[in-house]
Structure 1
Amino acid sequence: MLGSIKTFLKDRLAHTASPTERGQVLRVATAAILLEVSRADFETDEAELETIAAALRRAFDLDEAAVREVIAEAREQDDSELSLYPFLKIVNDACTPEEKYRVVCDLWRVAYADGRLDKYEEYQIRRIADLLYVPHSEFIRAKLSIQGEG
């Protein structure tokens, strides 16, 4: 569908990309980042996948078919990438600080979806939040906010 993220960034995210293409790239990048946290503890379970789907529906107002498509594309792109950095760059370039904070909240939701927080999940969220330039105080606020939901 989109080809590799690097090719897409290089060839189409310039000024010639349509808003629809840019939106799809952002959705896929966000899904890939969320999936990364679900894999951090070496076990991706159904509750984590449902949490990712709910986050994508909420953030991008997607229906179920669109969510499945985005997650499938994110898995495909993530498997072809050796690094999270292309995905993080997309989110950094496209999102406001408040939108990045909401991504970090969703990362915490994914980590807590299976009923426990693994140290590798927490490490991965901290790393992603730093790379999204989310201040540490906001990282902690997001964690406490999501803990309060449970």
Structure 2
Amino acid sequence: MLNSITKLFKQLLEGNDLGNHSATDPNLAIACLLCEVAGADHQVGEEEKEAKLRLLSKLLNLEPNNAQALLARANTSSQESASLYDFTSQLRELDQESRFALIEAMWEVANADGKIDPLEDAVIRKAAELLYVDHSEFIRAKLSATGPKS
């Protein structure tokens, strides 16, 4: 995060327009949100890495190699970002069903190791708020992702 702040100050000193973001990439934003939740507790295990890859492939209908490349870019972007808003602001065009699927996928990543850390919960909660996902849908996504599989 310190790198992000330093980068912002450098851009300000150089007179760059901070409101002029590069072209949006919704797929990258989705991948970044999955990376954010996986890294929230500062421990990204193999289960979470596999869940991110599987869920990203499913959400975006990508081949595993393409999903892996997107996740590599997302890890970098996630580390350089100052807030979740950087990613959620790029997803305003998603319909409610897609937003629900994304929040559900975030819960699945958080639960991949068998436990949901409070920091992971906080990231998902904030992302849901920024994506205007109703609390009832937020809870439904959690139950769907963490409940017993039939």
| Alignment TM-score > 0.5, same fold | yes
Once the 2 structures are TM-superposed, how far is the Cα of residue 79 of structure 1 from its aligned partner?
A: 2.3
Cα 1:102–1:76 change in 2 (3 A) is: same
How many equivalent pairs are there? 132
Rg (Cα) greater in structure: 2
Instruction: Tell me, in whole angstroms, the C-alpha distance in 2 between the residues paired with 1:34 and 1:59.
Output: 11
- Give the counterpart letter for 2:52 in structure 1: I
The superposition leaves residues 74-114 of structure 1 with CA deviations (integer Å, 9 ceiling, x where unpaired) of: 112222222221211011x2311110000000011011100
Instruction: Tell me, in whole angstroms, the C-alpha distance in 2 between the residues paired with 1:111 and 1:45.
Output: 11
Mapping of 1:61-140 within 5 angstroms?
Answer: 61-91=61-91, 93-140=92-139
Query: In angstroms, what is the RMSD of aligned CA positions?
Result: 1.8
| Superposition TM-score, scaled by structure 2 size | 0.81
Partner of 1:147 in structure 2?
Answer: 146
Q: 2:147 aligns to what SS in structure 1?
A: helix
Partner of 1:57 in structure 2?
Answer: 57
Higher helix share: 1
Instruction: Tell me, in whole angstroms, the C-alpha distance in 2 between the residues paired with 1:12 and 1:128.
Output: 21
Percent of residue pairs bearing the same amino acid type:
34
- Give the counterpart letter for 2:130 in structure 1: L
Instruction: Tell me, in whole angstroms, the C-alpha distance in 2 between the residues paired with 1:124 and 1:59.
Output: 19
Instruction: Tell me, in whole angstroms, the C-alpha distance in 2 between the residues paired with 1:76 and 1:129.
Output: 22
Contiguous gaps of at least 5 residues in structure 2: 1-16
Partner of 1:3 in structure 2?
Answer: none
- Give the counterpart letter for 2:137 in structure 1: E
- Give the counterpart letter for 1:53 in structure 2: L
